[in-house]
Amino acid sequence: MMELFNKKNSKILLAVLVVVVICTLLLVVLKSIKKEDEKESTDTKITQVIPQDVRKIYRILTSNECYVDFNFDFKNDLKIKTTDMNDDIILTIIFNNLKENNKLSNNLTKEEYLSSAKEILGSNFNAPNTFTNFKHNDYAYTLTENNITKTKTDCNSSKEYKTVLYSYSYNQDNLSVYINYAYIENGNVYDLDKNYIAKYSSEEMENIMGKATSYIYNFKKENKNHYLTSVEKTIREIK
């Protein structure tokens, strides 16, 4: 009888030891996962809350819809560096930055123009040294040597561009801003590849923009400032 009792106790003890070992292993695994999650959350923060500085960047990237075609000349990897962008897009970004900083005065200087370029495109970026009749909002600008002049102009585009700030992500050195683009023409909404999305409806625009062209604008941190380095094209849908 005692022998049977000892065998039964041995089995119970063995079962308890197995449970303890399993629980210990699970605890180790969970702690490891938690550390990885904490590291990831420290390295990369992703949020839907839009702070003022990202809103400012959004305005710089999307203003001047009347004149600029936002369809970048992407290569096979659907990514383009700022050094490969055409002058119209580069000038739009620079002038949007000037406007955001209240520098678009009647006495705009070349130094202010170049300073704006370095602020938003990096200290090593070479902005166009000359341009003629660049249209930005209500004016056409010309840079010859050291002089910038402007003349009044009108918007004659048949397209009305629509954009939405989808989200952003960042870490210590990088910032990515996600923006969806579409345009309205003749009562229809199209993506930037001219694909028909839907009939225009103000009530349905949130859903419609979920099917629009989506870009990721990539920035690098320089001192306390972020400057644009590249743009990627992707497919994102707003839920």
Asked if residue 20 is part of any domain, the answer here is yes
pLDDT of residue 238: 45
Token readout for 87 is: 């002058």
Token readout for 213 is: 């062209």
Asked if residue 26 is part of any domain, the answer here is yes
Asked if residue 70 is part of any domain, the answer here is no
Percent of the chain with pLDDT over 90: 53
Question: Which contiguous run of DSSP H or E holds residue 203?
Answer: none
Q: What confidence tens digit (pLDDT) does each residue in 161-188 have?
A: 899 998 999 888 899 999 999 999 999 9
Residue type, 228: L
Asked if residue 6 is part of any domain, the answer here is yes
Distance from C-alpha of 160 to C-alpha of 173, rounded to nearest angstrom: 35
pLDDT of residue 26: 60
Asked if residue 87 is part of any domain, the answer here is no
> Number of structural domains, the chain?
1
Q: What confidence tens digit (pLDDT) does each residue in 18-59 have?
A: 556 566 666 654 555 444 444 333 334 444 435 788 999 999
pLDDT of residue 16: 58
Distance from C-alpha of 7 to C-alpha of 79, rounded to nearest angstrom: 70
Asked if residue 161 is part of any domain, the answer here is no
CA atoms within 13 A on the CB side of 16: 6
Asked if residue 121 is part of any domain, the answer here is no
The mean pLDDT values, 10 residues at a time, for the chain of 239 residues are 50 60 59 45 41 89 76 85 93 95 90 96 95 90 91 83 91 91 95 94 94 95 89 69
Cβ(151)–Cβ(139) below 8 Å: yes
Asked if residue 16 is part of any domain, the answer here is yes
Provide the residue range defining the domain that includes 11. Answer: 2-43
* Max CA pair span of the chain: 109
